[in-house]
Structure 1
């Protein structure tokens, strides 16, 4: 039991030796608030399904540093977004603007859904019900015999 206690004590002491000093999250809370607002609107170029604010990729850290530097230079949010779009294209934005180059992106899902509904309606309209085939006299006699409990085929 004493060996286990000694091992746990060594582990606890070792963990505290390797601990780093916590850095402050924000030197300037105003800059960090603007950075967070902008970073939530920007896609991480490495992860692609995460915002820049949520990503821990090296490129995301670099872009956050760049955005901080531009905020400190006094640039507006629109100017910073324009810089990112000019450098990485509209893909960097989670909500790209509605213009001729992104027309398919915005209207494509609605057009596809409308085409699917139209195709379904056309298919349902063209579908026809096949009337039952007329029975021959022999088939009628056999059916009547079966229904009356007569001849069992």
Structure 2
């Protein structure tokens, strides 16, 4: 009986993960100006959902992504350009929110490591070919 109760508790856990707070109005509602909505939508495709991590905020159903979509639409509707909104979100949430993070001291190893590994692989391959010839 205890095992059944424990199993039901774990099965119901995802239902308790959602809050009862209603989503922001612009989380799912498009802007009336098609040009502004297209600008907002393009920016939303470039921003990573901090909860899902594998989806953009445009594709995610997470509450956090909805809040971020609303923020993007509100700021674009207020006249800010996408670059300013993107910079503000990166400042607020960190470089990880962007699918194309800028090079900084924290992210430089992530940009440089593939090049170093490629160079090491080329050196190892060159030495291996020389040994086979000789």
TM-score, normalisation: structure 2: 0.66
Q: How far apart are residue 111 of structure 1 and its match? A: 1.2
**Whose relative contact order is higher, 1 or 2, with alpha carbons under 8 Å and at least 6 apart?**
2
The separation in 2 between residues aligned to 1:42 and 1:93, in whole angstroms, is 5
2:61 to 40, 56, 59: 56
1:92/1:58 CA distance change after superposition, 3 Å: same
2:47: which partner in 1?
42
The separation in 2 between residues aligned to 1:26 and 1:95, in whole angstroms, is 25
Q: How far apart are residue 31 of structure 1 and its match? A: 3.1
Contact 2:57–2:69 (Cα < 8 Å) also in 1: yes
1:68 to 69, 73, 81: 73
The yes-or-no answer on 1:121 pairing with 2:88 is no
The separation in 2 between residues aligned to 1:83 and 1:104, in whole angstroms, is 24
The separation in 1 between residues aligned to 2:105 and 2:126, in whole angstroms, is 31
Q: How far apart are residue 112 of structure 1 and its match? A: 1.0
The yes-or-no answer on 1:79 pairing with 2:84 is yes
For the aligned residue pairs, the C-alpha RMSD in angstroms reads 2.4
The separation in 1 between residues aligned to 2:133 and 2:81, in whole angstroms, is 63
Partner of 1:49, secondary structure, is: coil
Partner of 1:75, secondary structure, is: coil
The separation in 1 between residues aligned to 2:39 and 2:107, in whole angstroms, is 27
The separation in 2 between residues aligned to 1:125 and 1:30, in whole angstroms, is 59
For these two proteins, the number of residue pairs brought into alignment is 107
1:93 to 93, 98, 105: 98
The separation in 1 between residues aligned to 2:62 and 2:116, in whole angstroms, is 36
2:11: which partner in 1?
none
